[in-house]
Amino acid sequence: MAIPQVAQNFAGSVTEVTLGATAENGGTRTSTVTIGGAKNIVHAGTPADSAGRKPVIAMDVLDVAPTDWPDELMAQYADVADDPAAWAKKCVEQFGADMICIKFDGVHPDKGDKTAEDAVKVTKDVLAAVGVPIALWGCENNDKDNKVMPAVSQAAKGENCLIGIVEEDNYKALTAITLADGHHLITGAPLDINIAKQVNILVTDMGFPAEKIVTFQSTGALGYGIEYAYSIGERQRLATLAGDKTMAMPMICDVGYESWRVKEAKLEGVPEWGEAADRGPMWEATTAICLLQAGADIIRMRHPRAVAMVKSYINQIWD
């Protein structure tokens, strides 16, 4: 599949970000990923001159075994769900994950209330098990994340991880510790381009380098706000190309979580919808491809069949 060539020059470009640190850079990663760099709208120009770096897939690993995942999704990890390190290893070695995203669901007060020590152990175990770059994603309870994520950041110091998320009303503590430990930061907003810009400004006003930020907007799944999520990504890319440095960061989207909680992806016993075992992965893959077309640089995913479909799409476009 060839990318159509569009001869158009823009003032700005997406910032390039490299995640992970190999031994020569003081870390233990065996590989790194570089994202961003696009100088044109998505699918315009050529890979050599303006398409930017190839997007990457970060597969989710939870710090505790999920209790609310659909059977089709849970079946893929039944043998490793109680062991985050083995789970991460399976995602990399069998499913081809470019990155691992550790989601600290278990530290949430309503989902186990695990301690910072528990989160640190999971972080160290996963870092030891795989060599790809790591994203460290809090439970999204501000009080608990402010207690847990500084310890997690410290445990991963030197590995050049991606840590988040920080938001407009809760950014100071995690921004400071991420800066001190040399990681990259995820800035978040609830599908609002103006709030996203404001968070980036607040974080950089604290001295955090803009070139070490990845932005996150709440992700809408196919049939559940995908049009609005797409438009936010598109608006960010256009603002970037127009030269707005406060919006020039690469984007990450949480596709796996959003896709697998909609009834069309997980509901069984509805023969007119087709087999749930096929429908779920297709729902996740379609959501991911839509958001890639809006400009996403990192896609968080869960089902290996969906990952395979999306990687095939990415390779056809960028190669």
61, HSE (Cβ side, Cα atoms, 13 Å): 31
The continuous run of DSSP H or E covering 174 comes out as helix 172-181
d(CA 99, CA 55): 11
Q: Residue 218 above 80 pLDDT?
A: yes
Taking Cα atoms as reference points, which of 13, 25, 23 lies closest to residue 50? 13
The continuous run of DSSP H or E covering 40 comes out as none
pLDDT given for residue 271 in this prediction? 83
Beta strands in 112-219 (DSSP E): 134-137, 162-166, 184-189, 213-217
d(CA 212, CA 210): 5
Structure tokens at 60: 């989710």
242-296: pLDDT as tens digits? 999 999 999 999 999 999 999 998 888 788 888 888 999 999 999 999 999 999 9
Name the pairing type of β-strands 17-19 and 33-35.
antiparallel
Neighbours of 191 (CB within 10 A): 15
24-62: pLDDT as tens digits? 999 999 999 999 999 998 887 666 668 899 999 999 999
pLDDT given for residue 268 in this prediction? 80
Which residues are paired to 141 by β-bridges? none
pLDDT given for residue 138 in this prediction? 97
pLDDT given for residue 319 in this prediction? 74
Across the chain, mean pLDDT equals 93
Give 230's contacts (C-beta < 8 A, 6+ positions apart): 290, 291, 293, 294
pLDDT given for residue 45 in this prediction? 66
72-99: pLDDT as tens digits? 999 999 999 999 999 999 999 999 999 9
Give 131's contacts (C-beta < 8 A, 6+ positions apart): 28, 29, 30, 31, 92
Query: Is the CB of residue 210 less than 8 Å from the CB of residue 246?
Result: yes
Average pLDDT of span 295-317: 96
Structure tokens at 129: 């098990």
pLDDT given for residue 8 in this prediction? 67
Query: Is the CB of residue 31 less than 8 Å from the CB of residue 92?
Result: no
pTM value is 0.95
* Concatenated DSSP letters of 87-117: HHHHHHHTT--SEEEEE-GGGSTTTT---HH
User: Which domains are delineated in the chain?
Assistant: 17-318 (3.20.20.20)
Structure tokens at 240: 């970037």
